[in-house]
Chains A and B, each alone.
Chain A
Amino acid sequence: SQTIHQWPATLVQPVGSPLSLECTVEGTSNPNLYWYRQAAGRGLQLLFYSVGIGQISSEVPQNLSASRPQDRQFILSSKKLLLSDSGFYLCAWSVPQGSSYEQYFGPGTRLTVT
């Protein structure tokens, strides 16, 4: 069966510090991968998605970046965090096979920028 992991689960970082969040998927090949952010009282904002290794599409211009160094690994990074980067970050995967296009979500990372 497929599983998706995110770490760390929680993170407290000062403004201006770097960020690296990691997401890995097991049990599937060539998944589409997604990063979302959920700020307090808001819905989900799609940040990045990837359809293959090294292929990243950015949805929102900001100080965040994403990379996909391996087929089932998706990394969210920042060189200098802003207060507005605080939120709940969710990684998700999907595999478009037949009629099954649903996304499966990881447990999330709670980021607090102080």
Chain B
Amino acid sequence: AQSVTQLDSHVSVSEGTPVLLRCNYSSSYSPSLFWYVQHPNKGLQLLLKYTSAATLVKGINGFEAEFKKSETSFHLTKPSAHMSDAAEYFCVVIEYNFNKFYFGSGTKLNVKP
């Protein structure tokens, strides 16, 4: 069975400092993994995806994530936080028959000036 655990419900960083949002997954098959961002009262926007190609995945807005099979992790990082990065972030794993997506509980990122 597939599942996703986002290890931090809230993360607070200062503008210009690095961002690390942690995600661990459980999957019986080779997973496809995604990170989405949601700004208040908006739909979700795809940041990046891993689908068994390069393990270091680059996304939009300077975000990237590294797939580590040995650690069953897919952590999201950004070298320098911007105020506009303040939002909620969701890690997602897809079921092997590709019809169901399992969302983590979300991490709210706060960026301080």
Q: How many A-B residue pairs have CB under 8 A?
A: 56
Q: In the complex, A43 Cα to B106 Cα: how many Å?
A: 6
Q: Nearest Cβ in chain B — how far from A108, in angstroms?
A: 5
Question: Does A32 sit at the interface, judged by CB under 8 A?
Answer: yes
Task: Chain B residues near A32: list those with CB within 8 A.
Answer: 99
Task: Chain B residues near A110: list those with CB within 8 A.
Answer: 41
Task: Chain B residues near A88: list those with CB within 8 A.
Answer: 41
Where chain A touches its partner, the secondary structure class is: strand
Count B-side interface residues using an 8 Å CB cutoff: 24
Query: Is B43 a contact partner of A106 (Cβ separation < 8 A)?
Result: yes
The stretch among A13-21, A63-71, A97-105 that forms the contact with chain B is A97-105
Q: Nearest Cβ in chain A — how far from B9, in angstroms?
A: 9
Q: In the complex, A34 Cα to B98 Cα: how many Å?
A: 12
Q: In the complex, A77 Cα to B78 Cα: how many Å?
A: 40
Query: Is A44 a contact partner of B103 (Cβ separation < 8 A)?
Result: yes
Interface size on A, as a range, is 20 to 34
Give A96's nearest chain B residue, CB to CB: B98
Task: Chain B residues near A34: list those with CB within 8 A.
Answer: 101
Task: Chain B residues near A99: list those with CB within 8 A.
Answer: 32, 51-53
B-to-A contact residues, CB < 8 Å: 32, 34, 36, 41-46, 49, 51-53, 90, 92, 94, 98-101, 103-106
20 extra A-B contacts, CB within 8 A, seeds A90-B44, A102-B46: A32-B99, A43-B106, A49-B100, A88-B41, A92-B44, A94-B98, A96-B98, A99-B32, A99-B52, A99-B53, A101-B98, A102-B34, A102-B49, A103-B44, A103-B46, A103-B92, A105-B44, A108-B42, A108-B43, A110-B41
What are 20 A-B contacts with C-beta separation under 8 Å? A32-B99, A34-B101, A43-B103, A43-B104, A44-B106, A46-B100, A46-B101, A51-B99, A57-B99, A92-B44, A96-B98, A100-B51, A102-B34, A102-B46, A103-B46, A103-B101, A105-B44, A106-B43, A107-B43, A110-B41
